[in-house]
Amino acid sequence: MFDKKELCEKIITLHPEIGECGIDVRVEYDEAEKSIVIYLEKAHYTVKHFLPDEDAEACLAGKQCVALGLEIAQFKDHNFKENAAV
């Protein structure tokens, strides 16, 4: 089992743009899916990203979480486009 706080801190370290964009990160374990779930939240938007064990291990080892990085980029783009239109 992974330490939620450690994984969350490592994700923020590997993806510092999260803090710059005001995106909140929450880590949980989904028993039904038997997977770690990363919640990216900003304003009224939430993205639920399932993180396979091997990706979680790579994050904890200090390597880039590729799929999560793509999810963060899409989440940022969506929020920035939404905010620019207002």
Q: Where are the domains of the chain?
A: 4-85
Is the distance from CB of 44 to CB of 86 less than 8 angstroms?
no
Is the distance from CB of 21 to CB of 74 less than 8 angstroms?
no
pTM above 0.85?
Answer: no
Question: How many Cα atoms are found within 13 Å in the side-chain-facing hemisphere of 34?
Answer: 1
Structure tokens that stand for 44 in this block: 């009224």
Which residues in the chain come in under a pLDDT of 70?
1, 64, 79-86
pLDDT at position 71, please? 82
Is the distance from CB of 65 to CB of 10 less than 8 angstroms?
no
